[in-house]
Structure 1
Amino acid sequence: MDTPIVFVHGTNAGPWTMADFTGYFAERGLRTLAPAYRHHDETISGETAELLVGTGIDDYVEDIATAISVLDTAPVIVGHSLGGVIAQILAARGLARAIVLLNGSVNWGVLPTTDGERALAKRLMSAGPFWEGTLLPDFDTMSEFGLNKLVPAEQRRVFDQLGPESGRVMFELFFWMFDDNQTTRIDYQSIECPVLMVSGTEDLAVPPSTARLIAQRHGAQTTFLEVPGFGHYLMLEPGWRQIADLCAHWLLESIG
C-alpha cells in the first residue's frame, strides 16, 4: 500500500499518544504523519493554556487539513477520540482515502447511551463556565474513564504527559446540543471512502453502544469492530499491537 497514513490524536494530548501505531506502520514501509493541533506539541505551561482560550474544533480541523495538504495523495486518516471526529469531517470534504476511528468521540446528534457517559458530562458541568477558558485533566476522571485498562503506575505516567485543553473544544464535543454552530455535525452522505470503527468494550467514555449509533449513520461502507478488554486509550494499552494488526488487515482488504 503506497497511501500515507495520518494519525490524529485526542484532547489534552499530542502525537506521542500515537507513537506506537506510527512506528508499527512505518516499520512496514508505509509513509506516516502524526501532526499536532496548535499548542499541543509544546511544553505544558501556563502560557500554552492561555493560547488555547477560544480555540475550537474547527481550528483543529484546519490544522490537520493544512498538515495533509503537502501530501501527493489523499491519506488514510486514523483518529483517536476527538481525532475520530476530525477524521470524519475531513473525509466529508473528500480529503481521505479511508478513515479509521479508534474509539472516536460522539458527533452532533448522538446522545449518550450509558450512565457513565452522563456522569462524565456532569463532571464537566461542575467546572463552571469552562468554555470561556481552558481545562486541565483530572487524574481521578482520567483513571476512571480514559486509563482504566492501565495499571496505576502507567496511569500516572500517561496522565503526567497530558496538558490543558480548550474549554470551547470540550464544550463543542460534550455539549453539542448547545452549540449553535453545530461544529461536530457530520455530513455522512458526503463520506464515500471506507470507514473502520474500532470500539473497546471497556471504553467508558465512548462505549460500544454509543459508537454503534455513529456506525449506523455511516451505513454500508462502515466496518464496526468491537474489541474485548480494551478501554478508551487502547493504543497505549498492553495489547495495542492487536489493534494495529486489525487496522492493518482491514486497510489491506479495503484499499490494497
Structure 2
Amino acid sequence: MRNVPIVLLHGTNAAPWTMEPFRRFFQEQGFDCHTPTYRHHDLPDGPERTAALTGVSISDYVEDIAGFLATLDKPPIVIGHSLGGLIAQLLNGRGLIAAGVLINSSIINGAVPTTEMERALGKMFMSAGTFWEMVPGQDFDLLATYGLNTMPSAQQHEICDRLQTESGQVLFELFFWMYDIHQATKVDFEQARAPLLFLSGSEDKVVPPTTARSMADRYGAQATFLQFGGRCHYMQLEEAWEEIAGASLEWIDSLPRL
C-alpha cells in the first residue's frame, strides 16, 4: 500500500497544521502525503473570510477535495480528523478513495447522539439563533470541555488560539442533518466500498466511542473500530500521538496491495 498517496483532511475551524504530526509520520514511512484545505480556509479571520464562508456547505468542501483527488495518479488513502473523517466517508460514497482512516469522525446522516453531553451540545446550538447564517469562531470553554478535555491548559489555549472561524451552514449540517434539505452528510453506501478504520478517543465528548462505533457498525465487515483510552477529540495532537499513527500504519500495511 505504500505506493498509494495519502491525503490528510482537517476538521472544522482548522487548517492543515492540525494534521502535521501525522503528515510527518507517514512521510517518513515512505508515503507521498498531501494536506489540502477547504475553500477560503487560507484567509485570515476578518470581514473577507466571513463574507466568503457565509452559507458555504460541506458539499462545497467535498467538491474541493474531490477536485484535488482528480489531480492524483490513483485513488488515495484519506486520513481525516473530525469533519475530515466525515468528508472521507462521503468521498468513499463516490468511489474516490482506496481506504480511509477516520480520527474521531464527525457523524454522518442517520447517526444519532448516544450521550447526554452530545445532546447538550446540540441544545447549545439551538439557543444560538440562526447560527447557520453566521461564521462562528471557537469558544474556549466549550472547546476545552468537549474537544481538548484531556490536554494541559496551556496546550488547550495554544490550539484554540490557532483555530479560526467556520461556516455556520457547515455546523448546521453536522449537528442537524435531519433538517438539512440537501442531505449534505448522507453517504451512498452502495458505492462506499473502500475499507475504513475508525479511531475513537475514549474521552472524546464531541463524538464519543458509543456514537463512533454505531457509525462504524453501519459498514459491517468493511470497517474496523479501535478505541484509545484517555484520548480526546484532537488526539492526533496529544502526547503519545505516535501510538495512534502506528496503529493506523499497521492497519494500512495489512490491507491487500492495490
TM-score, normalization by structure 2 = 0.97
Does residue 37 (structure 1) correspond to residue 38 (structure 2)? The answer is yes
2:196 corresponds to which letter in structure 1? V
The residue that corresponds to 1:177 in the other structure is 178
Measure how far apart 1:189 and its partner are: 2.9
Measure how far apart 1:44 and its partner are: 2.4
CA deviation map 1:31-81 (0-9, x unaligned): 000100011123222321221001000000011111111100000011111
The residue that corresponds to 2:68 in the other structure is 67
Q: Distance in 2 between matches of 1:45 and 1:243?
A: 35
2:62 corresponds to which letter in structure 1? V
TM-score, normalization by structure 1 = 0.98
Q: Percent identity?
A: 48
CA deviation map 1:135-158 (0-9, x unaligned): 111111000001112100000000
Q: Distance in 2 between matches of 1:97 and 1:8?
A: 15
Q: Distance in 2 between matches of 1:7 and 1:201?
A: 22
Q: Distance in 1 between matches of 2:125 and 2:232?
A: 20
Partner-residue secondary structure (3-state), 2:218: helix
Which stretch of the first structure deviates more once superposed, 151-160 or 61-70? 61-70
- 1:37 and 1:64 in contact (8 A); partners too: yes
1:22 corresponds to which letter in structure 2? R
Does residue 153 (structure 1) correspond to residue 154 (structure 2)? The answer is yes
2:187 corresponds to which letter in structure 1? I
Measure how far apart 1:123 and its partner are: 1.4
The residue that corresponds to 2:106 in the other structure is 105
In structure 1, list runs of 5 or more residues that go unmatched: none
The residue that corresponds to 1:26 in the other structure is 27
- 1:84 and 1:101 in contact (8 A); partners too: yes
CA deviation map 1:180-203 (0-9, x unaligned): 111101122321111100011000
The residue that corresponds to 2:217 in the other structure is 216
CA RMSD for the aligned pairs? 0.9
Measure how far apart 1:159 and its partner are: 0.3
Measure how far apart 1:27 and its partner are: 1.1
CA deviation map 1:158-211 (0-9, x unaligned): 000111110100000001111111110112232111110001100000001001
In structure 2, list runs of 5 or more residues that go unmatched: none
Q: Distance in 1 between matches of 2:81 and 2:190?
A: 22
Q: Distance in 1 between matches of 2:256 and 2:105?
A: 21
Aligned residues, how many?
A: 256
Measure how far apart 1:255 and its partner are: 3.7
2:139 corresponds to which letter in structure 1? D
Q: Distance in 1 between matches of 2:240 and 2:166?
A: 28
Measure how far apart 1:111 and its partner are: 0.8
Q: Distance in 1 between matches of 2:235 and 2:9?
A: 14
Q: Distance in 2 between matches of 1:240 and 1:189?
A: 34
Question: Measured at CA, do residues 180 and 20 of structure 1 come closer, stay the same or move farther in structure 2, by a change above 3 Å?
Answer: same
Moved over 6 A (4+): none
The residue that corresponds to 1:58 in the other structure is 59
